[in-house]
Amino acid sequence: MVALTIWNEYRHEREHDAVGEVYPDGIHATIAGALESDPERDLEIRTATLDEPDHGLPPDVLEKTDVLCWWGHEAHDEVADEVVARVQERVLEGMGLIVLHSAHFSKPFKRLMGTSCDLQYREDGGRERLWVVDPGHPIADGVAESFDLPRTEMYGEPFDVPEPDRLVFVSWFEGGEVFRSGCCYRRGKGRIFYFRPGHETYPIYEDENVGRVLRNAVDWASPTEGSPRTFGKRD
Ligand code: ZN
């Protein structure tokens, strides 16, 4: 059993009709649906949103979360630093973190990366092709050598993140740009996966390939028992 918490800012869906039509119950609900759809995975899914007390992430929730999935865009600055510190601490202790699309600018991701996490973008609804560049990686399990998303927002390099430990996907865009779309990191005992797809005006989290990658990513990011982390003076 893996305890998964799906965190969503949940503002665009309520404030913009065009987004509400694509994600009527919120992006978090659609992602939950994609993850629940696999009977082979034993997931306990909860969702949390920005406007709940503690953003839905009080200490007891984070304590029992094995993998946290994060989507945010317009209100990164409203996330309390106290909650960011808690997320960082839990990652160092071993909690997995899946960072989606515009959450490249989220406070937890920026803190864990230590760089600007900036990139180029163009909201043109063009086509994206994601290529698997690490075919043996567990996150690519069962994924074709490439797959297309017909309408997306473009993200282009340079993507100002540390060199990933493993790079699983590279995207090509109709405008000619490329982007490192699936980046794996370790911080402390925790595993972090950044996955690019997911602009709020396109039904990207309903895509079958994206769903498969997310399910694989939850498996990969799930904590393993490991060995205790012991620091400080020894007697
Ligand atoms: Zn976007």
Task: For residue 95, report the distance from its CA to the centre of ligand 1, in Å.
Answer: 26
* Residue type, position 58, single letter: P
Task: For residue 24, report the distance from its CA to the centre of ligand 1, in Å.
Answer: 17
Task: For residue 93, report the distance from its CA to the centre of ligand 1, in Å.
Answer: 30
pLDDT in tens, 20-70: 999 999 999 999 999 987 777 889 999 999 999 999 999 999 999 999 999
Task: For residue 201, report the distance from its CA to the centre of ligand 1, in Å.
Answer: 8
Average pLDDT, the chain: 96
Side-by-side strand order, sheet with 96-100:
43-49, 2-8, 67-71, 96-100, 190-195, 178-187, 166-173, 120-132, 146-156
Domains of the chain in start order, with CATH, are 2-114+179-221 (3.40.50.880)
pLDDT in tens, 8-28: 999 999 999 999 999 999 999
Q: Which distant-in-sequence residues (6+ apart) come within 8 Å of 118 by Cβ?
A: 105, 159, 160
Of 165, 216, 185, 163, nearest to 41 by C-alpha is 216
Task: For residue 82, report the distance from its CA to the centre of ligand 1, in Å.
Answer: 26
What pLDDT sits at residue 39? Answer: 76
Note residues around ion ligand 1 (Cβ under 5 angstroms).
102, 153, 199
Query: Residue 166 forms beta bridges with which residues?
Result: 184
